[in-house]
């Protein structure tokens, strides 16, 4: 059954570059999230809690959001590329990041200090907004990163004989 599912569409193929698309989209989606953090004064409070400057907080946070975007793309597979429902999956992923990051990791990293009031609301809303933007933008960013079938068909990992090699290898291992 697992072979059937991977053959028919859940797992991204080698021509699709899901991690690169997710990382780039995670960086782009951070722009509106940072604006929301700034509007709620959350960025300044978070920097104070972490004992960093705002610039250092951004320098640490932006690559983390790129990794989170790549993780989203990898976890959700082809569903991350869904134009009609990707925003909802992204918002759910943003909520999970908020629960894991702002609620668990930030207090652990700062000796028990956590965001409260409008700053906490800003972090929550920014991560949900980041997730929605991630889900909306991923198909747009991903499209130009895909390799063409013509160029990839010449490679052993994705050409016409790739499926035969994979099934022969799995038959030998059985």
> 86 and 80 in contact (C-beta within 8 Å)?
yes
Residue 122 pLDDT: 93
CA 20 to chain CA centroid, nearest Å: 10
pLDDT tier for residue 151 given thresholds of 50, 70 and 90: low
Assess whether pLDDT exceeds 80 at residue 9.
no
Rounded CA gap, 25 and 23, in Å?
5
Residue 83 pLDDT: 80
Q: What ranges do the domains of the chain cover? A: 17-144
Show the DSSP H helices in the chain as ranges: 2-7, 18-39, 42-50, 54-76, 86-97, 106-109, 117-142, 149-152, 162-173
DSSP 8-state secondary structure symbol assigned to residue 73: H
What pTM was estimated for this model as a whole? 0.72
Neighbours of 102 (CB within 10 A): 20
Residue 139 pLDDT: 86
Residue 84 pLDDT: 82
């Amino acid at each position: 059954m697992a072979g059937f599912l991977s053959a028919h569409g859940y797992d991204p193929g080698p021509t699709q570059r899901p991690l690169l698309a997710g990382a780039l989209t995670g960086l782009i989606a951070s722009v509106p999230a940072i604006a929301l953090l700034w509007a709620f004064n959350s960025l300044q409070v978070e920097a104070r809690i972490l004992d960093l400057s705002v610039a250092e907080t951004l320098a640490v946070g932006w690559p983390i959001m790129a990794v989170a975007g790549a993780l989203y793309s990898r976890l959700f597979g082809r569903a991350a590329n869904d134009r009609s429902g990707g925003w909802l999956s992204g918002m759910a992923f943003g909520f999970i990041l908020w629960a894991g990051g702002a609620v668990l990791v930030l207090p652990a990293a700062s000796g028990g200090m956590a965001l409260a009031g409008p700053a906490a609301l800003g972090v929550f809303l920014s991560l949900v907004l980041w997730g929605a933007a991630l889900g909306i933008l991923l198909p747009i960013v991903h499209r130009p990163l895909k390799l063409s079938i013509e160029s990839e068909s010449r490679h052993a990992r994705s050409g016409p004989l790739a499926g035969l090699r994979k099934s022969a290898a799995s038959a030998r291992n059985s």
